[in-house]
Structures are given as C-alpha cells and as structure tokens.
Chains A and B, each alone.
Chain A
C-alpha cells in the first residue's frame, strides 16, 4: 500500500536533514540554526557536534545507498546530538535557548518527522 504523499515527503532523508539543520537555537544576542552551531562547535571537538556530523554523514549515506537502516542510525545520532547539546547547556540559559517559539516549533517538527520515519512502512519503496 502506498503511503500518503505528505508522509513520503516528511520521511525523506533530505527533509530529515534539512529540518535537523534548521532547528533554531536561541542565544543571548542572536539565534542560530543547529547546523551553524554544529559547524562551529566541531572546531573545538564538542561531542554534540561530532554526533551531529556523524548523523549528517549517515543520512547522506542512506540517500546514496538507499538503506533505511542508515537513515534510522542517522536519526538516532541526530537525537543523541540534540540531547547532548541540551545536556551541556547551562540550566540558567535553557529558557532562552530552547523556550522560544521558533525553537519549540522546529523541535516539534523534527519530532514529528522522526516519528514518521520510525513508523514508515515499506521503507524506500515509495521514494
């Protein structure tokens, strides 16, 4: 059975990657997409950034090799990266780093995409 179009689009690795990189993280002066944070935190070998890079590579590989398991592994690494990033934040700062509307919306969107990927039936057949 073919899954609905919106599920096909939302569960696509490209969508997963895009939404992950565009999760908006608040800051004291400016907000930044999570991709920006990974990009510059990798320079100082932050664990969350390394996990983020691994996640990106796994998802890109899943696109190249058309392997659903790689997409799932990439998704897992993305959540590890996000949780590690959240865990290393100063509790006093979490209000403005995670509590702003855009952050909540983009995180929720990523959560929805994650659930759709996990529940995806017949992976890759409809891509």
Chain B
C-alpha cells in the first residue's frame, strides 16, 4: 500500500513538473498565435505567416512582435508577462530618398487595428504625415483672427524615420568586396542587419540575440550652406508677444554613453557639437540646425593645428546625447543669428572647432556657458580645447543640479529637421 502511495505521489509530481515545464516552455509563436486568434478575422488569421515572426525585447520589458500577412504587416506589443497590450495591421508603400545627407521616406502608410477598425491612411512626404501637418483656415491668436495657410505647422519630428535601407542599385561595392576578401566581414552597406530582433516562429522557441547598437551616423560630408539663406527664414515668423525664441546647443559623443572616449575608431569620429535656433508662435515656427566643419574634402589636419577652411552645414536630424535649451529675447536671438552668419572662415581642431562655434552662437544669445576644456591628443593647445565631451560633461552637471531644459542620454537622440533655405 505504501509503495502504491509513493508511486502515485511520484506520478503526480512528475505530471505537475511536466505541466509546469510545458507552461514555461511555451514558445513565443504560440503566444502570438493565441493573440492573433483572439483578435484577427478568420481570413486574416489564415493569411498571417507565423514563420515570418520576429520579436524584440524593449527596455521596458515589453515584447514587440512583427510578422507578415501577405502584403501587409502585423505588429503586436505585449507586457513582460506576454499579456496582449495592443496591435496593428499596417502597410507602407513608397520610396526612400537621400538628399543632402538626410534619408527620408515618402509614400503611403495605412494602418488599422487588428479587427480592421480605426483605419488611417496617411500620405507621407519626407517622413511627415501630410494629413497631420497642413492647415488652412482661420486661426485666432493674441491679436485677433488671421487667415493662415501653414504647409507644415509643426515639423519638429517626422512620423516616419528611416533607420536603415537597401540601396536601389544593389550589387557589391569595392568596400564590400574588400570586406569579403578580408574574411573579417562584419556586414556591408548592402546588408540588412537586424537590430534587437530575434527570430521565432515555426513552432520552436525563439532564442535571444544580443542587442547590437549599430551606429548609423552618416559621413560628415555635408554640403556647405549659406547660413544667411537659412536665418532669413526666421523673418517669415512675425515678432510679437506670443513669439518664442530658443537656442539649443547639442553634443554628440564619439561613442554613445562614454564621454571619456575621445575618438571612435570605428567611424573616425571625434564627436560633434551643433546649434539649433528656433522661433515659433502658436501658429507655426521655424527651426534651423547649424554645424561647423572643415571644408576640405579630405580634411587633412594631421598632428598639427593647421587652419583649414571651414563651412557651416545644415545639421538637421543630427544625433546627440546631450542638449541644453534656453529661451531668449528677440535681441539675443538676433545676436545668435549674427554669430551664425559671421562664422569664422577657418577651422582648427585644437583652437576653433565645432564646439567653439556652437558655444560662440549659444553665448552670443546670452547662454553664458563655459565648459571643461580637454587636451585633444595630437592637437594639444595651451589650456586645452573645447570638445563635445566637455560640453557633454557640462550639460550633465547642469542636468544633475536641476537646471531646466537640459537633457542627457546614453542612447541616440536626434535633432529635428531644419526648414532649409528661404531665398
């Protein structure tokens, strides 16, 4: 009897253990399949391709799942316990255009919830959903009513950003060929590299892939601009009691999250600092981003503080890890514009670089910012140089001391796009 009891107890324990294992071992594709069965129509469920399932773990602990459904895509979000939070069916048709260093998407974007309700159809123009930004009509402001026609009432951040793309031409370029030859190939411009996505589906459990942060900074071979043509745009925004003027200084570290590293060997970047001027009213505004670079196509400034010819470029959309924004008066804003328009003709790594320019403009507007100076290896000058790292340290200390409108991040943040030239 005792042996029978022990046998039964062992059987129950074994069964319980198996059930627990089954629960823990349930694959992500099972979870997604269950969610889809609950929310999709039978036809959509039939069309969903679970073999295409990809998952991503967000920093919040939530999961994002993505799979295809014929020509459409499904995206789902679940919480840490894989409870369904939200989902959508979407399609994108259009093209990616690269212009002046900016990669943008134009085309159509359709989205609905999983039950095909609440559909939206957007026409995307250079990343902006036109339906959300154009406004024609009568607006009321502090001085009465005005008939306005804004092409882009708020174009600070686009709805659609391009993080990676295939070139139209395809093929293998010389550098890829070199990569293949080197047998150390770590990807090429023509490869699609999944970032933070892991493959699941097929009934098996998905494995976790390491999160890889791929720096997609473009080569800083931006075209020289005439800053006056950019600053003239601010004249299109009326001055008045409701007009806001802001000046923002931003810094992009060579290696994200590591201000102690002065140079990124992977992309030849010493970091960058740039300035953003913004003038706005409740009915629209203009924002322009300016950066300061050496002009020469090859930028040879080796081991000596050689003066190079300089250029001011449109730094709209540039990456940053820290920024500091101040509100200024109309006169201070005009002083900042003057500083941009009178940028020096020479660039010097040690003595007058992008950070010096950004500080000059910021301080012309009353920023009163001085930053720790560092020695740039190979370009040492007495007292050190202003660097993106020093600017980061200063903004971080301001942020820690509670100064308003300072932000720092270990991740990539991006400035809004500039309006561009106006005449």
Contacts and interface: CB of A to CB of B under 8 A. Distances in A.
Interface residues of B, number: 45
A4 interface: no
Given A32-B303, A40-B263, A83-B184, A94 B270 contact: no
Nearest to B176: A91
Name the residue among B215, B262, B298 with the largest chain A CB count within 10 angstroms: B298
A33 B302 contact: yes
Nearest to B263: A40
Nearest to B349: A30
A24 interface: yes
B182 A96 contact: no
Contacts of A83: 182, 184
B219 interface: yes
Contacts of A98: 175, 178
A47 B267 CA distance: 16
B267 A24 contact: no
Interface string A53-89: 0000000000000000000000000000001111111
Which secondary structure dominates chain B's binding surface? loop
A25 B188 contact: no
B42 interface: no
Given A30-B270, A40-B263, A97-B268, A91 B299 contact: no
Contact of B189 (A27, A41, A91, A100): A91
A86 B183 CA distance: 11
Given A28-B270, A31-B301, A90 B175 contact: no
Contact of A31 (B179, B186, B298): B298
Q: Secondary structure at chain A's binding surface: helix, strand, loop or mixed?
A: helix
Nearest to B220: A28
B285 interface: no
A93 B268 contact: yes
Contacts of B303: 32-33, 36
Contacts of A41: 265
B266 A89 contact: yes
A92 B349 contact: no
A40 B378 CA distance: 9
Contact of B182 (A25, A37, A86): A86
B298 A26 contact: yes
Interface string A10-42: 000000000000001111111111001101110
Interface in B145-175: 174-175
A32 B218 contact: no
A93 B353 contact: no
Nearest to B269: A28
Interface residues of A, number: 38
Given A83-B182, A88-B265, A102 B270 contact: no
A46 B261 CA distance: 13
Contacts of A84: 184
B268 A27 contact: yes
B423 interface: no
A90 B298 contact: no
B220 to A, nearest CB: 4
B300 interface: yes
Interface in A88-117: 88-102
A37 B218 CA distance: 21
B265 A37 contact: yes
Contacts of B353: 29
A32 B270 CA distance: 12
B377 interface: yes
B175 A95 contact: yes
Contacts of B299: 26-27, 29-31
A29 B219 contact: no
A90 B303 CA distance: 24
Contacts of B384: none
Given A36-B378, A87-B182, A102 B267 contact: no
A42 B349 CA distance: 22
Nearest to A101: B298
Contacts of B201: none
Which 10 A-B pairs rank lowest in CB-CB distance, beginning with the nearest? Answer: A87-B184, A27-B268, A93-B267, A30-B301, A28-B220, A90-B267, A94-B175, A96-B219, A28-B269, A90-B266
Given A33-B303, A84-B184, A88-B186, 17 more contacts: A28-B219, A28-B267, A31-B298, A31-B302, A32-B302, A36-B378, A40-B262, A48-B265, A85-B265, A89-B267, A90-B215, A92-B217, A92-B218, A92-B267, A95-B219, A96-B219, A98-B178
26 contacts: A24-B300, A25-B268, A28-B268, A29-B220, A29-B272, A29-B293, A30-B302, A30-B349, A32-B303, A33-B302, A36-B378, A37-B265, A39-B377, A40-B378, A44-B261, A83-B182, A85-B265, A87-B185, A89-B266, A90-B214, A92-B218, A93-B219, A93-B268, A93-B269, A96-B268, A98-B175
